[in-house]
Amino acid sequence: MNKLKVSTNHELLARERANKVLNVLKEYPEGIFPKIIALYTKINENTVKSILIKLKNKGVVSQKEGMRGLYCLVEKDIHGSIFDWNFHDTTFSCLIKDYSGEMIEEIFHYGTIKYHFRIGKGSKKASVVISSNIPINISSIFACYSFFAYWVKERTNFFPEIKDTLISSIEFNKDYTNLGLRGIKEITLERLLDQFKLYQKGFGIRAEYKIKVPFPFEAIMSMLINVPISLDLTNSIFQIESDQDKINDSLKRIIALLTALLEKGDRHI
């Protein structure tokens, strides 16, 4: 009987240790080293390595390709959930066709979030710029829209529905807390419609997408409500790759035309 009790206690301890390791791995989807896991869990490093090997054999854990000793949970979706992303420096806007009042400009503060609300007299456009030092989780974007819609309704008697609302600009970001860029300050891919940036932020790396063209707010809402699986900003929402190619081709033709006109003008001088 005593041997059975010892065996049961040992199995219970092993499960507790494995759960501690799994909980740490959940906090670091980008991967983490056994030494750091041992530090967080207060489990011997060799024991942590043994647990990771067992979890790897079960298909629960994998090692990052090209990164020796870096372990992560096996994800079903390689892109991650849309709810893993944050946003800030965002502008909502809508057109109020029947607006005939004066220009309105107000600033509101709610916690760490600043709302700069404005209605243009001539443009008849209402907008709100949302900024925060601390990024806001994407799941809160509907609350920001609700503030915007309420302020517009209170001042113009027009309620901008989701289909009437545009996101004029937005920055999406996701932080990885235990990775760093060595010898590089940042990696930036600048394009006409968006910008991708990878840079050091505090003790980790931030991946950031900045969208430069207006798009319907309902595109984000549709993803949050109907497809909360992945966030592929450049392809799934805006088809930026194909659009960029079209714009680049147009720009090349315009530049060629302008060059020809300038050359023609120089010959006439």
234 domain-assigned: yes
How far apart, in whole angstroms, are the C-alpha atoms of residue 11 and residue 63? Answer: 25
- Is the same domain home to 39 and 135? no
pLDDT of 209-260, one tens digit each? 888 888 899 888 877 766 444 444 444 444 555 555 667 677 778 877 887 7
Predicted local distance difference test score (pLDDT) of residue 85: 82
What's the total number of domains in the chain? Answer: 2
Does some domain include residue 164? yes
Q: Residue 177: which domain range?
A: 82-242
Domain C-terminal end among 21, 45, 73: 73
Residue 44 lies in a domain: yes
Residues 45 and 164 in one domain: no
Render pLDDT for 108-118 as a digit per residue (tens, 0 to 9).
998 889 999 99
Q: What distance lies between CA 23 and its chain's CA centroid?
A: 23
Residues 116 and 223 in one domain: yes
Task: Please tell me the number of Cα atoms within 13 Å of 248 on its side-chain side.
Answer: 9
Q: What is the pLDDT of residues 32-79, one digit of tens each?
A: 889 889 988 999 999 999 999 888 888 888 876 555 678 888 765 444
Quick one: pLDDT band at residue 6, thresholds 50, 70, 90?
very low
Q: Which residues pair with 113 in a beta bridge?
A: 110, 132
Summarize pLDDT for 202-218 with one digit per residue, the tens: 767 888 888 888 889 98
DSSP code for 76 = S
How buried is residue 254: exposed, middle or buried, by Cβ count under 10 Å (0-12/13-18/19+)? exposed
Q: What is the pTM of this model?
A: 0.56
Structure tokens at 185: 């300050």
